[in-house]
Chain A
């Protein structure tokens, strides 16, 4: 393995790939879709949260919330008024803080705190509010106070099921998986196939580059583009919401999985026409879980089928982490399976490419 050669190939591919209109289209598409999505759902980008608070004891918890950027606090005179005012002012939620809240906390007790969630507001804001309250309570009241969550205009059970996966989360998951699938199943193979088709691979293999250097150079190019586009999509869609460390970890593992998949596809197809004709099949397969396994309860058969596709575990993890859930214990199995699939795919890609070389 020659680092200088790998970097030279990577640099060449990064510059050359964007001159290829086909590849450029695949790179730009997720970003364009994200921008269109922002135009269609502009309220998602409203960062400001209005919270109605009944705070008879003038708790420092409210002071801490007031100090946060983009938070508007409306005062209420009673528990009942919190609910009414939240609804009237289209606030994301309300807090009812007992008069003796701070003194109970200081005494080492775990006072009860009622927090109302307004289901009339969009999900992202609601989750942001939940996260804020949890963070502030943990910071200010060790041991944490007991938060009782109550609903305003709560949907029916069926509605709740659907509302857990609102359109924005569905589209966000699709758009996070999309660049991985397209870069993995289309761009990386195209980079390899072009070298074969234009016979520039012969030039590379007669130079100080080995087949391993070529493959690693392509993989790094794909990874770089994937990371950049995924990063832009995350940034445009507030993808850092919820449990973002798990989201980040899942995305990295997803990117690492799609790279060897791309190398495998590149080893199998002989020319760009074959790839253009059949390359959409692996893309669809990789994307399928993001369309099917987000926002629906799957039948056992469909779930069993989805579990055969490694990106199902990525999608399942993203669904949980974007919703603020997905502790490591909860998604550890998913991430382990995704890592295992990555190792197997890499081993298969190396074997196939060596076999093709011989």
Chain B
């Protein structure tokens, strides 16, 4: 297959079964170079299995995928230096220090030792690099995971639930780091079940439900296509109304209310990705 020059990831009918159960069911998509692509879905939807197949950790039962131009099955060795992976679990060597963790990764990837200090500074861990990882907070561990993934300067970064279980402040800081990396031209493949996070970071998102992609587009187009543009109206008598901007009758009624001076407050309320997901799958993302 010919991979387009500006394509970072191609998945074709990617499928994976575990003991007869289908975890990922024939998904196909492409990710452009420099794009932040979000794969959204509830727990158990097949997000991590997809990442494991794309990063060469797991062989697909059917289908094929190319990452950075390499076949994930037959060219795994060529693929590994081109990708960085931040895992859902904080899989660090806890008895070792932050620096030792990165030094080990540097040896695996044949990276110059000076790069360790660079990435430690980049993620703000330089001051505690010699402390045992056991003593790190969750946020520090997450930053160390990102540092480890960036150490060998990959072209594509895979982030599996990067803010899962983190405090809001730390999650915000991690999102800032991801946005900063994306702004430097790195291709980012992000899985999350936080819709706001995907909305904020991703240029395109795919909804994964029971191993299948049920929608794939930019967050704005998905919201427009599947959501409802509504207004929340509070009247002077305390009554609350929800009016659709796409319904001509609601539009006329709104005009009458304005003319009659009966409106106390007026708020536009666009659909969220969560609304779109519920509409498409019949279930919430947190289920």
Contact = CB atoms under 8 A, between A and B. Distances in A.
Given A206-B85, A208-B81, A19 B95 contact: yes
B68 interface: no
B77 A202 contact: no
B166 to A, nearest CB: 17
B104 interface: yes
Interface in A187-235: 198-200, 202-210
B93 A202 contact: no
B83 interface: yes
Contacts of A202: 52, 57, 85, 87, 89, 91
Contact of B85 (A7, A9, A198, A203): A203
Contacts of B108: 5, 8-9, 204, 207-209
A124 B274 CA distance: 81
B46 interface: no
A4 interface: yes
Contacts of B89: 199, 202
Given A199-B91, A200-B91, A200-B92, A8 B107 contact: yes
Nearest to A358: B59
Contacts, number: 66
A11 interface: yes
A43 B77 CA distance: 59
Interface in B107-158: 107-110, 148
A21 to B, nearest CB: 10
B95 A20 contact: yes
B77 A16 contact: no
A154 to B, nearest CB: 57
Nearest to B57: A205
B130 to A, nearest CB: 14
Interface in B82-110: 83, 85, 87, 89, 91-96, 100, 104-105, 107-110
Contacts of B219: none
B69 interface: no
A12 interface: yes
A205 B81 CA distance: 12
Contacts of A203: 85, 87, 91, 105, 148
Interface in A1-60: 4-5, 7-9, 11-12, 15-16, 19-20
A57 B278 CA distance: 109
A206 B59 CA distance: 12
B211 interface: no
Interface of A: 4-5, 7-9, 11-12, 15-16, 19-20, 198-200, 202-210, 358
12 contacts: A4-B110, A12-B93, A16-B96, A198-B91, A199-B89, A202-B57, A203-B105, A206-B56, A206-B85, A207-B80, A207-B108, A208-B110
